[in-house]
Structure 1
């Protein structure tokens, strides 16, 4: 399987006076893959690929083309229905009790 889908040099992502403080390469993993829990603390696991047997609800290691953004909310979200970018403005209006104009597409995630 293809584990890494998008390695990018820091200069391809970051700009400004602090680029040198970023990692040299950012690795975009394919869906279902990530670096091991051990490597994040500086350890080197025995095998090149190991099964993840810990609970894993998600992270930010995937290729950004597969996960172009995330929504953080301290309110419960409706589940079972995929969300899209067009749902964000509708959700914000609905959350604050503002009528959603009929020409707006999308559904509230709340």
Structure 2
């Protein structure tokens, strides 16, 4: 179960109730980012992959796919940074799947 609310400072807080009854919250700059985090956190919980690194990796993957679609629609080449980010993402996903990243190593 998810709730998203706007805080007094204009930022958006998403709260997710996990299957074990605990709650996870995160504050983002936009409502859509908060909703996206909540969606991926719920999906990760259902898959048994509750590492914050896994959730972050899923969000990054979605960003990369959106960038690719936008560039293709405009007929633009993807920048080198996208390729570097994609490599970083794959490394992060592999580490998260292998359990090599602990929750406090994600920076969030």
In the superposition, the TM-score normalised over structure 1's length comes to: 0.25
* Larger proportion of strand: 2
The two structures have a TM-score, normalised by structure 2, of 0.26
Which of 1 and 2 has greater Rg?
1
